[in-house]
């Protein structure tokens, strides 16, 4: 192989389509490889330019392939898609990567380091837990409103007001609802603990990486607690 060899890889969960080009606009070799075979394939090849479509696993594979001495470019999927001719197949996707690479106006996506991916993963987990917490709080507020209990705006009011509502003898909340509402409140408490733990991790990582912006931490009003014996 010559130094200007370009190799396009259509990534998947288990089987990868590989297209090798030594001449612009022409594919000279094709392979279908498993995960273990893909690593072995690149370890046995002289340095080449490797094209991957930027996707969930592309940064992992980019780091693996770069470690074997190759130059990896991640191409944006919304740009490579237009080069797929006829039906969309693994073979067509690999060829489309080679064609998109010929367009100098398509800028590759930077390969993320493991640190950068870790930060992104922590932020995604935190965002997901925040969304779930908000959904649970809104559900409790809506259920109580249907029973004539209106909770003021602000998440800090929900659990304390729920505690009061459940503690009222012969109150407006049916007894059969108590256990489910207490379970929802417990889930909210657990979500808040997870969010705080992730924020601590992000704070720690931000301290070692000056360029990273520290997250805005979330505060919760825990002045009123819920107990399983509330009735």
Q: Does pLDDT of 214 surpass 80?
A: no
In a domain, residue 107? The reply is no
Q: Is the pLDDT of residue 20 over 80?
A: yes
β-pair partners for 33: 16
Confidence band (pLDDT; 50, 70, 90) for 210? Answer: low
**Do 120 and 85 share a domain, yes or no?**
no
Q: Is the pLDDT of residue 216 over 70?
A: no
The boundaries of the domain holding residue 167 are: 114-208
Q: Are residues 141 and 173 in the same domain?
A: yes
In a domain, 229, yes or no: no
- The answer to whether residues 176 and 169 touch, using CB atoms and an 8 Å cutoff, is no
CA gap 219, 216 in Å, rounded: 10
Q: What is the pLDDT of residues 29-41, one digit of tens each?
A: 999 999 999 999 9
Residue 227 is predicted with a pLDDT of 41
Helices (H), the chain: 35-43, 58-66, 77-80, 90-101, 114-146, 158-167, 175-208
In a domain, residue 24? The reply is: yes
Q: Is the pLDDT of residue 44 over 90?
A: yes
72 and 119 assigned to the same domain: no
In a domain, 58, yes or no: yes
Q: Taken in order 179, 184, 187, 192, is the CA torsion positive or negative?
A: negative
Residue that wins the pLDDT comparison between 171 and 122:
122
Q: What pLDDT, in 10s, does the model give residues 102-147?
A: 999 999 999 999 999 999 999 999 999 999 999 999 999 999 999 9
Our count of domains for the chain comes to 2
User: Does residue 146 form part of some domain?
Assistant: yes
Does residue 13 belong to any structural domain of this protein? yes
Please check whether residue 33 is in contact with residue 90, taking contact to mean a CB–CB distance below 8 angstroms: no
List Cα–Cα distances, 36 to 30, 83, 86, 91, in angstroms: 17, 29, 30, 20
Residues 75 and 131 in one domain: no
Q: Look up the CATH number of the domain holding residue 53.
A: 3.30.420.40
Helices (H) and strands (E) in the chain, counts: 7, 5
* pLDDT of the residue at 169: 84
* pLDDT (tens digit per residue) in 175-206: 999 999 999 999 999 999 999 999 999 998 87
Q: Is residue 1 part of a domain?
A: no
């Amino acid at each position: 192989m010559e130094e200007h060899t370009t190799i396009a890889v259509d990534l998947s969960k288990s089987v990868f389509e590989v297209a090798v080009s030594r001449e612009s606009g022409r594919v000279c070799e094709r392979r279908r490889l498993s995960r273990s075979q893909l690593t072995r394939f690149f370890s046995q090849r002289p340095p080449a330019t490797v094209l991957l479509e930027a996707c969930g696993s592309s940064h992992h594979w980019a780091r693996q392939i770069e470690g074997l001495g190759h130059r990896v470019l991640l191409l944006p999927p919304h740009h490579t898609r237009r080069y797929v001719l006829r039906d969309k197949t693994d073979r067509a996707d690999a060829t489309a990567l080679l064609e998109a690479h010929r367009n100098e106006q398509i800028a590759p996506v930077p390969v993320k380091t493991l640190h950068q991916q870790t930060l992104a993963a922590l932020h995604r987990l935190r965002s997901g837990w925040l969304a779930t917490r908000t959904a649970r709080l809104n559900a409790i507020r809506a259920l109580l409103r249907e029973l004539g209990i209106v909770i003021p705006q602000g998440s800090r009011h929900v659990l304390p007001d729920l505690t009061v509502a459940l503690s009222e003898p012969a109150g407006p909340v049916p007894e059969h609802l108590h256990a489910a509402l207490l379970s929802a409140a417990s889930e909210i408490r657990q979500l808040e603990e997870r969010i705080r733990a992730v924020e601590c991790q992000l704070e720690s990582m931000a301290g070692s990486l000056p360029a990273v912006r520290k997250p805005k931490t979330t505060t919760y009003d825990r002045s009123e607690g819920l107990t399983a014996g509330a009735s």
